[in-house]
């Protein structure tokens, strides 16, 4: 194991850890004493039917969703019990840098989106006794997990809102994600994942951040010089003062675990690669919510999937920041749209069915 202060309670807390025991993975292998990190907001009601599950995105933690939660918002802790759960490999839950031998560092096993969802299901049913979810909502890789929840546990998920993500990753997005990963592993100090500190791989992490700048934002974001949305005044500050330091603090192996998982997100694995059959299993009232200028998960990709989901609607979010609109730098211009759609979804009636 290596120490990484970036993933501390001070930077990403408060969060709790839940022990799953030895957790077997779809690709083979086991995470011994597997842990899920999570944060909660609000109280679970006596009927245990007001729970909302929020899975995290690539490089994100439970702290990143704090801007989505608050009184009067769609995710209102006065009304709902909101569980924000950190995906496996994200640095807070069991990950390469915080796992002991024999699975530490480069030996950390491959994790699938399905593993995340099975772990989350074990956690919320075993720890809280929750057998239905009023809503599952998440952005980007959180959207991948949202789809997996709705397909894998259709009777348990009453409503689903995948934001800026797809149910089956596209070939284009697979290739792009590979460039993010190659930027890290091309660093001479990478050492096949057995570096001594994340700072050893600083150049690779810098290149990783630079690629994010090209595709994470939109061309119009740069044309209109909108870096003020992210608290900086120049494009140089955006790169050297925000994006590059942001990623250089992270554990490279963790980013690779999540990248490999992102590439292979695919609910059709449940139905012999028949995506229509997989999405046809969804019983949740579903709002598919792409971001209009997102270059990772464009609305056209999301709409093709939405048309295969019963009882679903397409709700497009407008953001000049593109995929990075998820960070909420546009404030009410972004969050107002998300809250409006989620409030509409939460007010919608759902088909009652037996619990898992």
| 294 flagged as catalytic | yes
User: Token pair of 312, please?
Assistant: 């679903």
CA-CA distance, 94 to 254, in Å (whole number)? 10
CA-CA distance, 293 to 179, in Å (whole number)? 20
- The single residue of 41, 121, 208, 323 carrying the catalytic annotation is 323
Is residue 201 within 8 Å of 190, Cβ to Cβ?
Answer: yes
CA end-to-end distance (rounded Å), the chain: 37
- The Cβ-side half-sphere exposure at 165, using a 13 Å CA radius, reads 29
Is residue 286 within 8 Å of 159, Cβ to Cβ?
Answer: yes
Q: Where are the beta strands (DSSP E) in the chain?
A: 16-24, 30-41, 51-55, 81-85, 135-139, 159-163, 285-288, 312-314
| 323 flagged as catalytic | yes
Is residue 165 within 8 Å of 140, Cβ to Cβ?
Answer: yes
| 59 flagged as catalytic | no
CA-CA distance, 255 to 90, in Å (whole number)? 7
Coil, helix or strand at residue 23: strand
- The single residue of 140, 266, 312, 319 carrying the catalytic annotation is 140
- Residue 194 is classified by DSSP as -
Pairing of strands 30-41, 81-85: antiparallel
- The single residue of 294, 301, 312, 339 carrying the catalytic annotation is 294
Active site members: 140, 294, 323
């Amino acid at each position: 194991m290596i120490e990484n202060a970036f993933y501390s309670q001070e930077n990403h807390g408060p969060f709790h850890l839940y022990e799953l025991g030895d957790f077997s993975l779809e690709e083979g292998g086991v995470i011994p004493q597997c842990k899920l990190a999570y944060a909660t907001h609000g109280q679970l009601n006596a009927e245990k039917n007001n729970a909302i599950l929020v899975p995290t995105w690539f490089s994100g933690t439970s702290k990143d969703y704090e801007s989505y939660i608050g009184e009067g918002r769609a995710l209102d802790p006065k009304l709902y019990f909101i569980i924000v759960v950190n995906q496996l490999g994200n640095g807070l839950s069991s990950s390469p840098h915080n796992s002991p031998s024999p699975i530490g560092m480069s030996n950390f096993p491959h994790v699938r989106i399905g593993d995340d969802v099975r772990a989350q299901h074990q956690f919320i049913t075993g720890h809280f006794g929750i057998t239905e979810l009023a809503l599952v909502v998440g952005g980007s890789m959180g959207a991948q997990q949202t789809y997996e929840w709705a397909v894998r546990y259709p009777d348990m998920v009453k409503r689903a809102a995948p934001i800026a993500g797809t149910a089956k990753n596209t070939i284009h997005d697979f290739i792009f994600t590979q460039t993010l990963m190659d930027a890290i592993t091309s660093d001479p100090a990478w050492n096949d994942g057995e570096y001594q500190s994340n700072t050893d791989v600083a150049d690779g992490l810098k290149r990783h951040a630079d690629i994010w700048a090209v595709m994470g934002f939109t061309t119009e974001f740069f044309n209109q010089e909108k870096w003020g949305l992210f608290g900086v005044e120049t494009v140089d500050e955006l790169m050297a003062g925000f994006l590059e330091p942001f990623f250089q603090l992270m554990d490279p192996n963790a980013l690779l675990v999540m990248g490999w998982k992102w590439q292979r997100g695919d609910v059709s694995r449940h139905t012999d690669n028949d995506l229509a059959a997989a999405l046809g299993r969804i019983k949740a009232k579903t709002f598919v919510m792409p971001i209009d200028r997102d270059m990772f998960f464009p609305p056209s990709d999301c709409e093709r999937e939405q048309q295969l989901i019963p009882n679903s609607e397409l709700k497009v979010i407008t953001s000049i920041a593109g995929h990075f609109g998820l960070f909420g730098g546009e404030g009410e211009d972004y969050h107002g749209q998300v809250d409006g759609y989620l409030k509409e979804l939460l007010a919608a009636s759902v088909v009652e069915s037996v619990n898992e």
